[in-house]
Structure formats: structure tokens, C-alpha cells
Structure 1
Amino acid sequence: MATATIQVAEVGGFVGRARCFEIDPPYETHSYVTICVTPALGGVVRPKADIFPATETGACAERSLMARAGSFVLHEEADTEQKLDDSYAWALMLLGGYAIQPQDA
């Protein structure tokens, strides 16, 4: 079963709310991904969740911030903690069927 565990709950330096996950099996050659949930910007850009290959600190593992498989546009703002958590979970599922494991597991 593909699993994800929270590595860094709040990663700084991104436009939206970012969280880093350790994933097993790795995506391409990366054992970590950061998911950034960005709010709508200026009424032109819809809210979205983008996945980036990451290091264990949550920093992008590559020079490019090109979003990867699993990234998607949200239908509405992730304006509650539950919607934010759901966005992370959905992106991981789209990336490769990853299920988030509880912290104490």
C-alpha cells in the first residue's frame, strides 16, 4: 500500500499553505513531496493544490517549481483546516494512491 506521513506540517516560503510528506514508495526518485494549497489570486487564478518533489525539509528538490501529477484546481477555497487536510489527501491519492498515515502509527 502506498503511504504518506507528515514530515513538516507547515513549510514556509510558498504562496499558500504547504506541507511536506514522506512517501513510500518514492515518486520518481523522490521520497518526499511538498503540497502547496494556494488561494485564489485576484479573481483570475482559481485556488489550487500543487505537488512538488521535495527534500526532507520541504524545500523543492529541483530548480523548477513545475507542478507534478496529483496537482489539481479546487472548486472552492480551502478555508478551513478540514478542507486543507482534504486537499492534501486528495492530491496524494491522485499522485499515486498514497494514503496519509496517522502521526502515531
Structure 2
Amino acid sequence: MEQAVGVQFKVERDYQSLPIEEKESYKWIEVSRNTKSALKDVVKGMVIIQDREGDIYEQFALIPDSDADLLIRARSNRTLADKTSFSIVFPGILQRDSMSCLLRLRESVKSGLLK
């Protein structure tokens, strides 16, 4: 595999040891911070929803507070200590089959936004 001039692979630049601010995934934290800042005077509480690329530890450590929570599709399966979960079935519409979704609640319940 050829590599573009001046471009390093993750292993070559020791990606795991880089601070989060120097990683591409930091954009998800920036989006969450910008969203909180833009909406803080507009809404009383918010749930920021992201796809699995936003599933990074630093974001869960930095973003949730009394005014904002995160709802992010997990990148990998995790087991919760208290086994808190429930499932929802979405009925089929038009040509689509029904789908089921298993939800595991974490910080949102604890912070009080979702009551």
C-alpha cells in the first residue's frame, strides 16, 4: 500500500498517546460544546444525539452536566453493572419490517434530565 508524502499511519504517530485535542475524534467534543453554547439560553435542558463516532470516553467525561446529556449509539457492546435495560419494538411502516431496539440507560437517568 502506498502512502502519501508527509502522511503517517496511526501506529507511526503513536495515535494512542496523543492528547484528545490532537485526534480527529475531538471534533465530536467540539460539536457538543458548540451545541451547548449555542442553545444554553434557548432550551432548559438538552440531549445531544450522535452516531458511534461520538462514542469516546473523553466526551462522556466532559460534556454531560445538569443542562446536557449525551445519547450516543455505542461503538461496541458493553455490560452495565446494574443490568439496567429495556427494549422497544418499532412497528413496520410501508415496505419495512418492524425493528427492535435494546436501550441501556446510564447517566441521563442519574442527572435528572430524563424523568
| TM-score tier after normalising by the smaller chain length | under 0.3
Structure showing greater radius of gyration is: 2
Name the structure, 1 or 2, with higher relative contact order (CA <8 Å, separation 6+). 1
Task: Provide TM-score, normalisation by structure 1.
Answer: 0.23
Q: Which has the larger share of helix?
A: 2
